[in-house]
Structure formats: C-alpha cells, structure tokens
Chain A
Amino acid sequence: MKNNILKVFTGLAYSIIYFPILVIGLLSFNKSVKGYSFTGFTFNWYVEIFRDDRLLEAITNTLLIAFLSTIIATIIGTFTAIGINNLSKSSKFKMMIINNLPIINPDIVTGISLMLVLSLLPISFGMNTMLLAHIFFSIPFVILTVLPKLKRLDKNLYDAALDLGCTRLQAIYKVIIPAIKSSIIAGALIAFTMSIDDFVISYFTTGNGFQNVSLWIYSRLGRRSFNPAVYSYNTLIVFITITGLIVFNKVNNKRSLKEIK
C-alpha cells in the first residue's frame, strides 16, 4: 500500500516535469504555425531547421559555446580542485566560500555583475564575452563535483608517483586524473547542461547580435519570425538523450548480469 502511494507521487512528478516537453513534441508535428490548435500532421518543421539560417546559426552557436566552455571549464576546474585540495584547512574553507558565491547568487545578479565588469574592459560584447561568462559559471560546478573524490584519494599516491620517477605533470595526468576520472566526467556533464540551457547570463553578456537558442527564442516571442522548427530541434535533443540513456541502461544491465554469472 505504502509503496503505491510513493508510485503515485513519482508518476505525478514525471507528468508535471514531462508535460511541457510532450506539448513541445506535439507542436513540432503540427501544421499550424501559431500552435493554437492541431491542424494536421507534418514533418516539415524538422526540414525547416536546416532552412532557417538564423535558427541554424543559433543552434551552432549554442553547441559551440557549450562544447568549448565545457572543455575549458573542466580543465581549469580539475586543476584548481587539485590545488584547493592541498590548501590548509582554513584557506580551503575560504576558497570554497568564494567558489560557491556564483552558485548561490541568482543568475540575474551574476549576469549583471559580468556585464558591469566586462563593460570596463576594452573588448566588444559578443561570442567572446558569452564564452567567458559560460566558462565562469561552469568552473564552480566542476570544482564542487571533483573535490569530494579528491578528498578520498590516498595522499601518498602523488608522492609515490614522484618517487617512482614521474615528473610533477606526469604524476598529475598519469596518476591523479585517472583516479578521479568519473567525477571529472560528471562535472563536465553538469557544465555542459548548464551551458546548453542558459538564458539569463547569456542575455546580459552577449552583443553584436550573437545569439544562442535561448536568446533566439526570447527575441522572437510572439513575433512572426518565431519559427516552430525550434520545437523540432528541442524534440530531437530530448529524443536523442533519452534513447542514449535507454541503450546505455540496457548495456549496463547486461554487463552486470554477466558479472553475476
């Protein structure tokens, strides 16, 4: 009985989280442009993604920024985390307070802060500033994910590597990094997720007409230039992620079954 109540709550949670995504899916197959009613089935919006130059550009920008900022933030974040892990206890605590500030700060305050600082520098707003902003808000999450794993790592591993003839750099990338690989990947995934969906911080740090998908949508809300092809883009992303997860889950389950045998 008790289990059933829990299942009802779980069902409710999935419904409220997935309902808008299903609606977006429905709209992506809808002939109607305005989306007030379902006027017929079409695949046209999926072809339209590749025909709308501005949308395609926004999608490319989103992915480009997401990949670049993830790679750079993961590298900087991992090395910084290794550094923080070796600080004395009190400086570690101070570091983590500064590190967590952008995480607890509202997006809108972070966006404004970056806008103010960047406007003092002699650089023009656009891709560079948005990329910098994305790297900035991703690093704290990478550090936060990598640090707990580093704490549990045997302190002597690094010294042992040095004794056995590794250079310092080799000791880091041949010993420490492989040992914390799983949390580095987790950190990178969080960074990617934050970047691909960001609207608020991008809104304050872009310029010269440089748009990611969120900004493309925001600038076209309620306008005629709003192309329903963006529904198709979103549906494709969700479809690919869920399929990937299900396949990964199957493979994993099979592997663990084999291990039991």
Chain B
Amino acid sequence: MKSLNKLSYPYIVWMTILVVLPMILILVLSFTNIDIFNIGSFNFTFDSFEYLKRPEVIEASKNSIRLSFFTTVICLFIGYPVAYYFANTKSKNKQLYIALIIVPVWSNMLLRIIAWEKLFYPNSILNMFGISFDLIGTDTAILIGMVSMYLPFMILPIYSVLDKMDKSLIEASRDLGANTLNTFLRVVLPLSLSGVLSGVLMTLLPSMTAFALPERLSGGKTLLIGNIIEDYFMKTGNINAGSLISIILMFVITFLFIGLLRFDKEGDTLL
C-alpha cells in the first residue's frame, strides 16, 4: 500500500505554484517598489510601511478586530445552545433540522446582504408592518448581518463534537453528585472545546476579512481591513502597500490559528 504515496506528489507541485509562489511574490512586493505588470529594475524599500500609519488603515484594523470579536461572541452565545439541542434531541427529524442550518449557504451571500441592507434603511418593505429601521452605518447593522451569515459555521463544528460525545458521561457525572451546571462546566464543555475552537475560527476569520458585507451595511462608512486591501489592489493601484497589509494579515491569522490549536489537546481541529 506504501506505493500509493506517489499519488500525492502532483499536489505538492500544484500547491507550490499556487500557494507558496504567490506568498513569496507578495513578500517581495511588500519590500520593493516592483511593478507587477511591468517588471523592470526595482529597489528594496520600506516605503510600503508608511501606509501602515495612515488613519484609514488604523481605523480599518480597529473596526476589523472589534466587529469580528463581537460577531464571534454572539455566534458562540447563540450557537452553542443550538448545537447542544441538536446533539441531544431525540426527534427523528434531527438530520433535517441540521441540514436546514446549511441550506442558506446555498443562497447567494451577496443577495442576503442586500436583503438586510434594504431592511435597514428607514424607507423599507417593513413599513407595511409599521416598522422602520435606520441602522445603515451603525455597528448593529454589520453585527446582525455578520451573525446571520456566519452562525451556521459556529453551530456545525460544535454539533459534530457534541454528537459524538459519549452521553453516559453525563449520567456518570450526575451519579457522582455533580449538579447540572457542574456537569456542564466540568464534563460537557471541556470535551466540546475542539468543536468550539473550530467554530470560533470559522466565524472569526471570515468576519475579520469580509469586504462586501461592511461596504453594503455601512453605506461605505465603516471600512474593514478587507476593504483597504481591495481598494489598494483594484482601485488605487497601491499593489505594494496592499501586499504588505495582506502578508501582515496572513501572519496574524496564522498565529491566531496556531494559538487556538494549542488549546486543543486532541488535535482534531481542522487537522
């Protein structure tokens, strides 16, 4: 069976070209004044670092951290009980309930963002029910939008861990005299930690780097770091500064990832 390992070799080449090569490219772009569309002579320079001090970049970083943090906390607060309910329900429609959490992902995300956007303007379809919101540009609008998009990604990993957990452990804990709260805190929660970690990563990372959602739900007022990168690459042509921000973002996320994995003793978060 050992000979089958050759089947993985083409993938190494593929990933080198499409993952490792662009990373080197982004790194080179960050520290030079190279023009990607017209590669000629170039110098090493730290010019791109000047961009990091710009108020819009600092503001966007703060926004990204704040909004992704609150999104993750809210998703965990709502998502954990839901996952717990799914894992313990005896309903024969259990599989259907869980599938219904995934279905919305098939519905176009941009359209779902637009649906929220339309509701958050004072003049909306909700007026016929006598309701009117004026939320565009507020953190509330972005948080509602983000929770609505990313909640399924919190529920599913927690559910899959809770569902596999041996239910007799709970009975054992009760028999040994622990009350409901203690059983939860000292038995259920520690055992479901790997699911919580995957869930946190799967909501934190996309909400931190979203760019269409904040653009629509803030009316262009609240920029996240994703908006800055998109702006530098596609609109203002500051590809070198955009590369530097991307590489920093990649480092931050890799460290977050490694940091969270350390909590996972079983080692089955994503790996």
Contact = CB atoms under 8 A, between A and B. Distances in A.
Interface of A: 2-3, 5-7, 9-10, 12-14, 16-21, 23-24, 26-27, 30, 35-38, 76, 79-80, 82-87, 95-96, 98-109, 112-117, 119-120, 136, 139, 144, 155, 158-159, 168, 172, 193, 196-197, 199-200, 204, 213-214, 217-218, 221, 230-231, 234, 237-238, 241-242, 245-246, 249, 252-253, 256
B111 A234 contact: yes
Contact of A105 (B37, B82, B253): B253
Interface stretch (B44-52, B93-101, B169-177, B185-193): B93-101
Given A19-B115, A119-B37, 15 more contacts: A10-B85, A16-B148, A17-B151, A21-B107, A21-B115, A23-B119, A83-B8, A103-B270, A104-B253, A116-B22, A117-B17, A213-B108, A214-B109, A217-B114, A234-B111
A243 to B, nearest CB: 11
Contacts of A102: 19
Contacts of A245: 96, 99-100, 103
Contacts of B124: 36-37
A144 B155 CA distance: 19
Q: Which 4 A-B pairs rank lowest in CB-CB distance, beginning with the nearest?
A: A83-B8, A83-B7, A113-B22, A106-B209
A151 to B, nearest CB: 11
B203 to A, nearest CB: 13
Given A117-B17, A217-B111, A246-B96, A16 B36 contact: no
Interface string B5-44: 1111111100101111111011001000000110000000
A16 B147 CA distance: 8
Contacts of B82: 6, 9-10, 13
Contact of A112 (B26, B95, B97, B216): B26
A174 to B, nearest CB: 15
A73 B113 CA distance: 29
Interface of B: 1-12, 15, 17-23, 25-26, 29, 36-37, 78-79, 81-82, 84-86, 92-93, 95-97, 99-116, 118-119, 121, 123-125, 127-128, 144, 147-148, 151-152, 155, 180, 201, 205-206, 208-209, 211-212, 216, 226, 229-230, 233-234, 242-243, 246, 249-250, 253-254, 257, 270-271
B115 A20 contact: yes
Contact of A237 (B102, B107, B253): B107
A102 B250 CA distance: 11
Contacts of A27: 115, 118, 125
Contacts of B209: 106-109
A77 B160 CA distance: 23
A98 B9 contact: no
Nearest to A197: B109
A234 B106 CA distance: 9
Contacts, number: 243
A116 B26 contact: yes
B110 A214 contact: yes
21 contacts: A5-B81, A6-B84, A9-B78, A16-B147, A20-B112, A20-B148, A21-B107, A23-B118, A35-B125, A37-B127, A84-B5, A86-B1, A86-B2, A103-B270, A106-B250, A108-B211, A112-B242, A113-B19, A144-B270, A214-B109, A238-B106
Contact of A13 (B37, B78, B233): B78
B18 A117 contact: yes
Given A9-B78, A27-B115, A218 B8 contact: no
